[in-house]
Amino acid sequence: MKIIGFMTGTSLDGIDMAVLETDGEAELGFGPFAEKPMPGEVRAVLEAATKDALNWPRGAAEPDSFTTARRVIADYHLQSLDQFLSENDLNIRDFDALGVHGQTVLHERPKNGMPGRTVQLFDGDYLAEKTRLTVVCDFRRADIEAGGEAAPLAPVYHRALAHKAGLDLPVVVVNLGGVANITVITPDGLTALDTGPASGLMDQWMRQHTGQWFDEDGAVAAKGRADVAIVADYLSHPYFAAPAPKSLDRYDFTLERVSPLSHEDGMATLMAFTVESLRHEIVRAGVTPSAIVLCGGGRNNRQLVKVLRERLADIAPVRIAEDLGWRGGAIEAEAFAYMAARSLKGLPISFPGTTGVKTPLTGGVIYRATNARRSA
């Protein structure tokens, strides 16, 4: 199948699109990919929906802002798709399906006997009718309804990439997005978990102090000094004692602890929290990997990569996705194209070791256009 995958992360900085030809198993063929910035008016709608989601009581009707946001994010995908096809001289009639993550505005893990909640806003039916292609989205719903964490989901694709690259196992793949997560790939299985914040808290701190969206190359963090007591305080959170698999929302940790610090020291402390929480969970995984591979937007933060290499050197060499010939900026979009193929074939996308679901489970809600150009 020839599929375009889409990813919009919680940083609300833009959209990733990637072409993948795959059978949802070992076959991986790579086409064009692109990263496009998110317009301010789209971001504003999604920020309002996220704010409403964080204040949404269980059992209450969903906020009205969700309905508006679903159409806005779908239109943004449609406009980005048109540009992507034009820029790469692609014909939409050559594709079998679209795999769309949607916009996460809420993620609450199951705890204390209470089921989790997760919301990825999107209008799959609308995009299917507009493109006349099969659309697969809402990948997390089935898992959360079955009692799983519904995150992380990319591990099944990380495994496919590791096998295609011929990496010596075990290997640890790290995704550095708003939240950090790891995939531990061994000859016998697949495990995964969110390890703590990645860029999320640092981006909030930067925006609060300067109005800028991120700390380019980690320049601000490099000038500061981490407060080890505050890092230890962050790491005392019960989440870090909980067993895997487990997941986080970008907003599970706040800036309250670092609020008394200077801009530079606060950034250095938040970066240290990212690094130490990641190290903590890799050590707890109990494997000796041949490599630790960094993916996601955080791999572009030079200071973060420098500190990670220093702190993880005793565990394994740290490599960037591009070192392996992977397309670091496209991996998550590729992952949802891959999972769309698996969903269409009824293959599992989440597993006991990745989300805590009891048995391997397929997922993805499938929307087929009334007058489809091709039927996946």
What is the set of domains in the chain, with CATH numbers?
A: 2-148+362-367 (3.30.420.40), 155-316 (3.30.420.40)
Residues marked as binding? 9-16
Q: What pairs with residue 136 in β-bridges? A: 99, 366
Length of the chain in residues, anyone?
376
Rounded to the nearest 10 degrees, the angle between the axes of helix 200-210 and helix 263-285 is 180
124/344 Cα distance (integer angstroms): 15
Of 277, 271, 320, the closest CA to residue 299 belongs to 320
Q: What is the pLDDT of residues 32-46, one digit of tens each?
A: 999 999 999 999 999
* Half-sphere exposure for 245 (CA within 13 Å, toward CB): 29
Q: Residue 8's pLDDT band (boundaries 50, 70, 90)?
A: very high
Predicted confidence at residue 374, as pLDDT, reads 44
Give whole-number Cα distances, 371 to 133, 196, 374, in Å: 9, 44, 9
Burial 338-366 (b: 16+ CB within 10 A, else e): bbbbbbbeebbbbbbbbbbbeeebbbbbb
Identity of the amino acid at 16: D
Residue 234: pLDDT over 90: yes
State what percent of residues in the chain have pLDDT above 90.
91
Q: What is the DSSP string of 351-364?
A: -HHHH--SS-B---
Q: What is the dihedral of CA 306, 312, 313, 316, to 10 degrees?
A: -120
Could you tell me the two tokens for 110? 């199951």
Reported pTM = 0.93
pLDDT at residue 104 greater than cutoff 90: yes
DSSP 247-307: ---TTSS-SGGGTTS-HHHHHHHHHHHHHHHHHHHHHHHT---S-EEEESGGGG-HHHHHH
Give the model's pLDDT for residue 64: 97
Give the pLDDT confidence of 148-171 residue by residue, as tens digits: 999 999 999 999 999 999 999 999
Confidence of residue 371 (pLDDT cuts 50, 70, 90): low
Phi, psi at 132, each rounded to 5°: 60, 35
Q: Quick check: 192 pLDDT over 90?
A: yes
Q: How far apart are the first and last CA of the chain?
A: 8
Any idea what DSSP says for residue 159? H
Whole-number Cα distances in Å, 285 to 190, 193, 196, 246, 309: 11, 10, 14, 13, 18
Paired sense of beta strands 318-320 and 292-295, if any:
parallel
> Residues 284-301: pLDDT tens digits?
999 999 999 999 999 999
pLDDT 10s digits, 302-323: 999 999 999 999 999 999 999 9
Binding site per annotation, positions for ATP: 9-16
> 330 near 33, Cβ under 8 Å?
yes
Give residue 376's pLDDT band: very low, low, confident or very high (50, 70, 90).
very low
For residue 12, the model assigns a pLDDT of 87
- pLDDT confidence of residue 249: 83
Q: What is the dihedral of CA 152, 155, 158, 162, to 10 degrees?
A: 140
Q: Give me the percent of the chain exceeding a pLDDT of 70.
A: 98
Query: What b-and-e string marks burial along 55-71, b requiring 16 or more CB atoms within 10 Å of the CB?
Result: ebeeeeeebebbeebbe
Mean pLDDT across the chain: 95
Predicted local confidence at residue 13, as pLDDT:
86
- Contact between residue 100 and residue 130 where contact means Cβ atoms under 8 Å apart: no
Contact 53, 368 (CB under 8 A): no
Q: Residue 186: its pLDDT value, please? A: 96
Residue 372's pLDDT is: 54
Please enumerate in sequence order all residues whose Cβ is within 8 A of that of 35, keeping only pairs 6 or more positions apart, or say none: 14, 15, 16, 17, 329
